[in-house]
Amino acid sequence: MMRRVGLFLATNLALLVVLGVVMNLLEPWLVAQGINVNHAGVLIFALIFGMGGAFLSLAMSKRIALMSMRARVIDQPANPTERWLVETVQRQAKEAGVGMPDVAIFDSPDPNAFATGASRNNSLVAVSTGLLRNMRPNEVEAVLGHEVAHVANGDMITMTLLQGVLNTMVLLLARVFGQIIDRVVFRSNSAFGPGYFLSVIVMQIVLGILASMVVMAFSRWREFRADAGGAKLAGRQNMIAALKRLKQAHQGRADLPESVEAMGIRGRTGMGFKRLMMSHPPLDERIRALEEGAR
């Protein structure tokens, strides 16, 4: 995990350095246009707020998930089902080589589950009451394997680092373009004219949408990888059966709040632009990938 963190931080730093060099090369033209960009200030601002916001979100992810879903962590199993749940997650976590996650249950009639947490050894796996009631034990085991695979793959930290890099780029580019548009288009003589603030808002929205598409594309890819991990921990046919059961139970909707949906085992479906903003691939595609992998 530390190697992955170092790689992403190095990538983020490299991108910022490259942009700084580009801005220095463009400085003669910018100065001729009356544009004075404070490189260091913009870079530091973008880095602090872009990466800082992403890591703050990661640090609070378990607490936010527990509060938003009103999930109850199983400290002491109260019945055989809870005992089986904890023991299954414990066995899978050991096999996957990660620390024992907290195990929680949230009240929902729809079958779903999610995993979150700040690291591979500080995570949470939560399942709905509907999942336990409506799915067979082998299917529940596969769902748990899928979530434990997310933890083992370090998906939470990787998503956070990716989001942090993109946040940084959005904040940086929006302000750079804001100054350029303010001077060139709006002909403002002040350091931060009205055109600057308007341009920054518009650019952050546009660039933010593009950044979200990148994050969602990664999110969809990680679901295929977690399905493969779940198949390894609980059996391929069990994983396929679990996804088919989820498909029967849901028709293009998601019962988790949007703040937690990307962490669930399934999400909303859509076509066209909506597909680009989906956190999960369609269940049919996931089932087909597992079936083709078994051939």
Q: What is the C-alpha to C-alpha distance for residues 113 and 98, in angstroms, rounded to an integer?
A: 19
Per-residue pLDDT of the chain (295 residues; tens, 9 = 90+): 444 445 445 555 555 556 555 655 565 566 566 666 566 666 777 777 777 777 887 888 888 888 888 999 999 999 999 999 999 999 999 999 999 999 999 999 889 899 988 889 999 999 999 999 999 999 999 999 999 999 999 988 888 888 888 888 888 888 888 888 887 887 777 666 778 788 888 888 888 888 888 888 998 999 999 999 999 999 999 999 999 998 887 654 555 555 555 556 666 556 666 777 788 888 999 999 999 976 5
Largest CA distance in the chain: 75
Other beta carbons less than 10 A from residue 212's beta carbon? 17
Q: Which of 272, 273, 42 is nearest to 177 (CA)?
A: 42
Q: Which of 139, 147, 223, 261 is catalytic?
A: 147
Model pLDDT, residue 96: 96
Model pLDDT, residue 103: 97
Model pLDDT, residue 162: 86
Q: Are 125 and 89 in contact (CB under 8 A)?
A: yes
Q: Kind of pairing, strands 102-106 and 113-119?
A: unpaired
Catalytic residue list contains 258? no
Domain segments of the chain as ranges: 2-61+155-293, 69-152
What is the CB-side half-sphere exposure of residue 127 using CA atoms within 13 A?
29
Distance of CA 185 to CAs 32, 188, 190, Å?
15, 8, 13
CATH of domain 69-152: 3.30.2010.10
Q: What is the C-alpha to C-alpha distance for residues 50 and 53, in angstroms, rounded to an integer?
A: 6
Q: Are 84 and 102 in contact (CB under 8 A)?
A: no
Helix (H), strand (E) at residue 256: none
